Amino acid sequence: MNRFDNDTQVERIDERRWRAEVSPAWSIGVNPNGGYVLAVVLAAARDAIEHPHPLTTTAHFLKPATTGPAEVHVEVHKVGRRQSTVSGWLVQDGVERLRVLSSFGDLDTFAGPSRVTATPPDLPPVEECEQRSEAVLATLPEIARRVDLRLRPGVMFGPPADEHEAVFEGWVRFSDEREPDVASLPFLADAFPPPALRVVTASWIPTLELTVHVRAVPAPGWMRARFATRVMVDGLLEEDGELWDSAGRLVAQSRQLALVLPG
Amino acid sequence: MNRFDNDTQVERIDERRWRAEVSPAWSIGVNPNGGYVLAVVLAAARDAIEHPHPLTTTAHFLKPATTGPAEVHVEVHKVGRRQSTVSGWLVQDGVERLRVLSSFGDLDTFAGPSRVTATPPDLPPVEECEQRSEAVLATLPEIARRVDLRLRPGVMFGPPADEHEAVFEGWVRFSDEREPDVASLPFLADAFPPPALRVVTASWIPTLELTVHVRAVPAPGWMRARFATRVMVDGLLEEDGELWDSAGRLVAQSRQLALVLPG
């Protein structure tokens, strides 16, 4: 089994509780990545209802999760023809770590007008983008070994500068070449480093809240991604993300509210 | 008392429940506007915790509310130094109508870097924008009498056309000149008609989910607003909104996931 599927497995305990194991493989320092922990909660939520696709998911991060055993609790608010809405939350040592609200549906059942004016990032081919060397990876958090990011040339991680834009664009896939699917899109929408690091020094930029819309079932292959911050005031910022699949379709849109901690 | 404050009053029943009255003054047809019902839930949430500002709020709309009595339930997930996180939900006739997840904080306590590259919509002066006449208002839903929208000239409501952009830009304030504040921003972020109506025919475009970030305490006076849809696929669309205050600051960012119902 690939790493992501292995590390997001949950086991049902009863009607409302699932057992999970938070893996150390997706951490940034000692803290498991928020998008990874969200994927664990969504695995339990998916098990609780019939609809297959997390159309819209919001996570509020209350306290960093730790690696090791956890329980996921799920409460179903609505089961409808078009959507099922649930709350889910992850508990470790009796403390709630994140709270999730999500509506699931079936993207294959929607019918109606289509009109797209957004366009995917105009990137050079994957092989011309920056690949992180083993030497660089050794200096980066654990999660960087799980996700293969190929940034636009000339936009490497590095010291911030006033003349930079707070934007990261690049290709993305799992390092073990597991194909993207709807279950992994909320995670992949949180797998880039914060683009605000291009313009400010920070010890970290924790996410207070992350919302991801899954808009289409992704085709296999590399995805194009764009993450940008346009408004940072008193350290509080939004980060908007888009993921486009190899067929040129927008498959996920994300926005998070995050906070710059002094560097 | 002004209409918005009057119609979003809640009365505490016990530790976790508030009594409310859903007013018919904010309806679209027979359904109370979703942003208005959200404001009622946020009034109870605000009463349950100490932090004053709803930094980030997500609402999932489960079933249209009706006018008349309602109960709001609030569960507090976290009370921290920087944020308090709560769920809130509105119940009528024993049925949950919307489910809200919100983190409150105090915008005045944040300190950190600022850098803004977004700009407010470049609008003609208020008096040069389109004011809806009494004759037009008589044909519009009740909510149109509560909110004074002055759209960019030439971008009136009317039949959709392929050459249009799915964008509404204009000035906005309450019709009774109640000043904007953090409590009313989530409502005002849902008070424009859907910009998708500029390009497609629909009987309505109900919101499945709405997320609003309150980014600053608004200055008094007219606000500038921009709402746009860039990706509509099989009738499913996002709508991104921005509200800018009279001092030229971004005070709210919103995104909703909505669905085109055939016209």
The complex's ipTM works out to 0.97
CA distances for B237 relative to A153, A157, A215, B99, angstroms? 32, 33, 8, 20
Alpha carbon dihedral B225, B230, B231, B232, in 10-degree steps, equals 70
Q: How confident is the model at residue B132 (pLDDT cuts 50, 70, 90)?
A: confident
% pLDDT > 70, chain A? 99
CB A229 within 8 A of CB A238: yes
Q: Which of B230, B244, B245, B251 to mutate to test the interface with A (most CBs of A within 10 A)?
A: B230
CB B235 to CB A60 under 8 A? Answer: no
Residue A160 has a CB neighbour count (10 Å cut-off) of 15
Residue B219 has a CB neighbour count (10 Å cut-off) of 14
CB A113 within 8 A of CB B235: yes
Pairing of strands B10-12, A261-262: unpaired
Q: How confident is the model at residue A262 (pLDDT cuts 50, 70, 90)?
A: confident
% pLDDT > 90, chain B? 89
Distance of CA B29 to the CA centre of its chain: 17
Nearest by CB to A56, from B114, B216, B257: name it.
B257
Q: Can you read off the two tokens belonging to residue A14?
A: 């009863």
Q: Can you read off the two tokens belonging to residue B38?
A: 């959200």
- pLDDT on residue B20: 98
Give Rg (Cα) of chain B.
18
- pLDDT on residue A163: 87
% pLDDT > 90, chain A? 89
Q: Is B9 exposed, middle or buried (0-12, 13-18, 19+ CB in 10 A)?
A: middle
Closest-CA distance of chain A to residue B104, Å: 11
Please name the residue that has the structure tokens 């799915």: B166
A47 against A137, higher pLDDT: A47
List CB contacts (< 8 A) between B253 and chain A: 231, 238, 255
- pLDDT on residue B10: 98
Please give the single-letter amino acid code of residue A213.
Answer: H
Q: Is B234 exposed, middle or buried (0-12, 13-18, 19+ CB in 10 A)?
A: middle
Q: How confident is the model at residue A133 (pLDDT cuts 50, 70, 90)?
A: confident
**CA A176 – CA A134 distance, rounded (Å):** 15
CA distances for A4 relative to A23, A141, A168, A186, A191, angstroms? 10, 16, 23, 12, 13
Kindly provide the residue ranges of all beta strands, DSSP E only, lying in chain B, ordered along the sequence: 10-12, 17-22, 27-28, 31-32, 53-61, 68-79, 84-92, 95-105, 115-116, 147-151, 167-174, 202-204, 207-214, 223-228, 231-233, 236-244, 250-259, 261-262
Please name the residue that has the structure tokens 């919100």: B102
Average model confidence (pLDDT) for chain A? 96
CB A233 to CB B255 under 8 A? Answer: no
**CA A85 – CA A90 distance, rounded (Å):** 17
Q: Can you read off the two tokens belonging to residue A70?
A: 């956890």
List CB contacts (< 8 A) between A99 and chain B: 77, 85, 87, 101
| Chain B nearest-CA residue for A84 | B62
CB A78 to CB B89 under 8 A? Answer: no
CB B89 to CB A77 under 8 A? Answer: yes
- pLDDT on residue A153: 85
CA distances for B156 relative to A45, A79, A206, B149, B242, angstroms? 43, 38, 42, 11, 19
* DSSP state, residue A162: T
Which residues 208-247 in chain B show a CB within 8 A of chain A?
208-209, 211, 213, 215-216, 230-236, 238
Closest-CA distance of chain A to residue B126, Å: 25
Closest-CA distance of chain A to residue B134, Å: 33
- pLDDT on residue A157: 66
Q: How confident is the model at residue A130 (pLDDT cuts 50, 70, 90)?
A: confident
CB B253 to CB A238 under 8 A? Answer: yes
Nearest by CB to B208, from A83, A216, A257: name it.
A83
Helices and strands in chain A: count of H runs, count of E runs = 4, 18
**CA A192 – CA B133 distance, rounded (Å):** 49
| Chain A nearest-CA residue for B205 | A112
CB B201 within 8 A of CB B227: no
Which residues 75-114 in chain B show a CB within 8 A of chain A?
77-78, 80, 82-83, 85, 87, 89, 96, 99, 101, 103, 107, 110-114
Closest-CA distance of chain A to residue B114, Å: 4
Average pLDDT over residues A158-167: 88
Looking at the predicted structure, is the pLDDT value of residue B248 above 70? yes
List CB contacts (< 8 A) between A249 and chain B: 233
- pLDDT on residue A55: 98
B153 against A180, higher pLDDT: A180
CB B197 within 8 A of CB B14: no
Residue B25 has a CB neighbour count (10 Å cut-off) of 17
Q: How confident is the model at residue A159 (pLDDT cuts 50, 70, 90)?
A: confident
Nearest by CB to A101, from B78, B101, B259: name it.
B101
Q: Can you read off the two tokens belonging to residue A174?
A: 């799992």
Q: Which of A145-154, A246-255, B204-213, B215-224 has the lowest mean pLDDT?
A: A145-154
List CB contacts (< 8 A) between A200 and chain B: 113, 115
Which residues 110-139 in chain A show a CB within 8 A of chain B?
110-118
CB B116 to CB A260 under 8 A? Answer: no
Task: Quick: pLDDT tens for A167-192.
Answer: 999 999 999 999 999 999 999 999 99
Closest-CA distance of chain A to residue B94, Å: 12
- pLDDT on residue B179: 98
Average pLDDT over residues A223-245: 98
| Chain A nearest-CA residue for B235 | A112
Q: Which of B38, B107, B229, B255 to mutate to test the interface with A (most CBs of A within 10 A)?
A: B255
Nearest by CB to A232, from B82, B114, B262: name it.
B114
CB B215 to CB A233 under 8 A? Answer: yes
Q: Which stretch of DSSP H or E encloses residue A42?
A: helix A34-48
CB B208 to CB A56 under 8 A? Answer: yes
Average pLDDT over residues B72-81: 97
Backbone torsion region of residue B248, taken as left when φ is above 0, otherwise alpha when ψ lies between -120 and 50, otherwise beta: left
- pLDDT on residue A223: 98
Q: Which stretch of DSSP H or E encloses residue A79?
A: strand A68-79
- pLDDT on residue B153: 85
CB A54 within 8 A of CB A182: yes
CB B78 to CB A62 under 8 A? Answer: yes
Beta-carbon contacts of B15 under 8 Å, excluding residues fewer than 6 positions away, are none
**CA B102 – CA B261 distance, rounded (Å):** 28
CB B25 within 8 A of CB B60: no
**CA B245 – CA B261 distance, rounded (Å):** 33
Closest-CA distance of chain A to residue B61, Å: 9
Q: How confident is the model at residue B157 (pLDDT cuts 50, 70, 90)?
A: low
CB B116 to CB A231 under 8 A? Answer: yes
Average pLDDT over residues A40-62: 98
Q: Can you read off the two tokens belonging to residue B112?
A: 């950190």
